[in-house]
Amino acid sequence: MEKPTGTLFITATPIGNLEDISLRALRVLKDVDVIACEDTRRTLKLLNAHRIQKRLISYYQPREGQKIPLILEILKEGKNVALVSDAGTPGLSDPGFKLIREVIKAGLNVVPIPGASAAAAALSAAGLPTDRFLFLGFPPPKREAARKMLQALKGEKATLVFYLPTRKITEFLFLLDEVLGNRPVVIARELTKVHEEFIRGEARELRSRLEKRILKGESTVLVQGNK
């Protein structure tokens, strides 16, 4: 009789506030045999808050490939694995895609455990159109590459969604104004955390306003599409 294989659970975790995790996600984290995580220290903080003790495997960019054979072997032994990132949903601008692809290729089970996402949270409260949006993750770090990316999006009618370190926002706003024009922009900063803030305005005015501030943390930047 063939031994049953395990399941890889793609488990969303909080993006800031530790209470933003589903009952189902907590049950999965308690029940699995192993948790594959981006940073063991960050995951331990979450597990300790919910009194969960579990074996952890470090799974992070750019060394994802080194841990894939180990995780596949664990699954083939009939054990279950939860994949988590530092915050939010694995695979969305976080490690996960390469492992998920290989697990599917091996004919093993992959089950999503939905939950927090910075992009979805920002869109829900931004006040920009949400009937159509385009998630673009982190823009290229080099200025010219970022400019070319924006040029390719000039005619896009969907709301554009980016992730950005807050320290890079003023430079990005300059590029937005230069390439796409002075469009409405919403910056969702430190979502679900103590200093959560939504900053709304047009690209040019926002750049001028934010040049005078020292901002820290991560941000989700939403740009109105081409009308």
Q: Which pLDDT tens digit goes with each residue over 3-34?
A: 688 999 999 999 999 999 999 999 999 999 99
| pTM: predicted TM-score of the whole model, two decimal places | 0.92
Q: Which CATH superfamily is domain 118-223 in?
A: Tetrapyrrole methylase, C-terminal domain (3.30.950.10)
Q: 7-113 and 118-223: same fold?
A: no
Q: What are phi and psi of 177, to 5 degrees?
A: -65, -40
Contacts 24+ apart (CB under 8 A), 101-106: 102/68, 102/72, 103/8, 103/71, 103/72, 103/75, 106/72, 106/75, 106/76
Burial class of residue 165, CB neighbours in 10 A (0-12, 13-18, 19+): middle
Q: Which pLDDT tens digit goes with each residue over 86-102?
A: 999 999 888 899 999 99
Q: How far apart are CA 225 and CA 227, in angstroms?
A: 6
Question: Given this model, what pLDDT does residue 67 score?
Answer: 94
Return the domain boundaries, the chain: 7-113, 118-223
Q: Which pLDDT tens digit goes with each residue over 39-65?
A: 999 999 999 999 999 999 999 888 888
State which fold the 7-113 domain adopts: Cobalt-precorrin-4 Transmethylase; domain 1 (3.40.1010)
CB 25 within 8 A of CB 9: no
